[in-house]
Amino acid sequence: MSVENLPSLPCTEEDTSCSVQTALLVYFYLKCFSSKGKTAHQTCVLSGDGGRREQGHKNQVNFLSVLLAFPQVTSEADVQSAVSLAREKFGKLDLAVNCAGIAVAFKTYNFKKDLPHSLEDFQRVINVNIAGTFNVIRLAVGEMGKNEPDADGHRGCIINTASVAAFDGQVGQAAYSASKGGIVGMTLPIARDLAPMGIRVVTIAPGLFSTPLLAGLPEKVRSFLARQVPFPSRLGDPAEFAHLVIRLDGAIRMQP
């Protein structure tokens, strides 16, 4: 991907317990190019809690070409409206980064309180993290399919955010791990569905990052989690995630 030809980017975020801090992701994603004298590309930020974050977004990215929209990723009408808005503003859509995510920490059964895990909470996590991701994908690729392919036949790219919890879930993470495992599981079949149209689909499984998902935890808990990282022993920075996103390339897979 050339720096001069960066794509239009919609990022999605559901609420304060999101898996990636979208505002910072977009901010660093673009700043790493503007600091090198490159032309900032056009970006659409889709945030589910716009009332709280809108001013922060504006303060951070007011020198860039950024469009703000505030849909719920589980709403077909909201996401379709946001995709259409991006097309009207920028003329096309060629990259979508799915960052929406919520979590609930509760054991399958609390035997001390004789209380099972809330089914409603489990279903909500699955709905936002899996169905929300799929909702954005299915509507975004419809717009990407209208793009003129480049010399390699490439029309667009979808980047999803799973988690290390998809492979190594901890105590009390049944809902979150299941949801992130679902994102991992649907990545390859969706990639195979869309490959004939020149649309790539990849998924990142981050470890522990400094995001709103961890911000609500006590400082001593966050420090403990950071110390569990082998090297460097700290939480990941959203800028590091952003640098991975902009350089992510496709991988060879066996034929379906």
Q: Distance between CA 140 and CA 218 in Å, rounded?
A: 37
| Residue where the block lists tokens 């492979």 | 167
pLDDT band at residue 69 using 50, 70 and 90 as cut-offs = low
174-194 and 132-144 helices, crossing angle to 10°: 20
Q: Is the pLDDT of residue 149 over 60?
A: yes
Lowest mean pLDDT among 56-65, 118-127, 243-252: 56-65
Q: Is the pLDDT of residue 77 over 90?
A: yes
Helices and strands (H, E) in the chain, number of each type:
9, 8
Q: Distance between CA 173 and CA 206 in Å, rounded?
A: 15
Do residues 25 and 97 lie in contact, with contact meaning Cβ atoms separated by under 8 Å? yes
Lowest mean pLDDT among 55-64, 92-101, 160-169, 227-236: 55-64
3-class SS at 202? strand
pLDDT band at residue 4 using 50, 70 and 90 as cut-offs = very low
pLDDT tens for each residue of 92-103: 888 888 888 888
Q: Is the pLDDT of residue 244 over 70?
A: yes
At residue 93, the pLDDT reads: 86
pLDDT band at residue 44 using 50, 70 and 90 as cut-offs = low
Which of the given ranges, 94-108, 163-177, 179-193, has the highest pLDDT on average? 179-193
At residue 90, the pLDDT reads: 81
Q: Is the pLDDT of residue 5 over 60?
A: no
At residue 102, the pLDDT reads: 87
pTM higher than 0.85, yes or no? no
Query: What is the distance, to the nearest Å, from the Cα of residue 113 to the centroid of all Cα atoms in its chain?
Result: 35
Which of the given ranges, 77-81, 101-105, 109-113, 246-250, has the highest pLDDT on average? 109-113
At residue 96, the pLDDT reads: 87
At residue 134, the pLDDT reads: 96
Residue 183's closest CA among 241, 137, 114, 242? 137
Q: Distance between CA 108 and CA 95 in Å, rounded?
A: 37
pLDDT tens for each residue of 190-199: 999 999 999 9
CATH topology of domain 3-247: Rossmann fold (3.40.50)
Buried/exposed 83-113: b ≥16 CB within 10 Å, e otherwise: bebbeeebebbbbbbbbbbbbbebeeeeeee
Which sequence positions are flagged as catalytic?
176
Q: Distance between CA 62 and CA 14 in Å, rounded?
A: 22
Percent of the chain with pLDDT over 70: 66
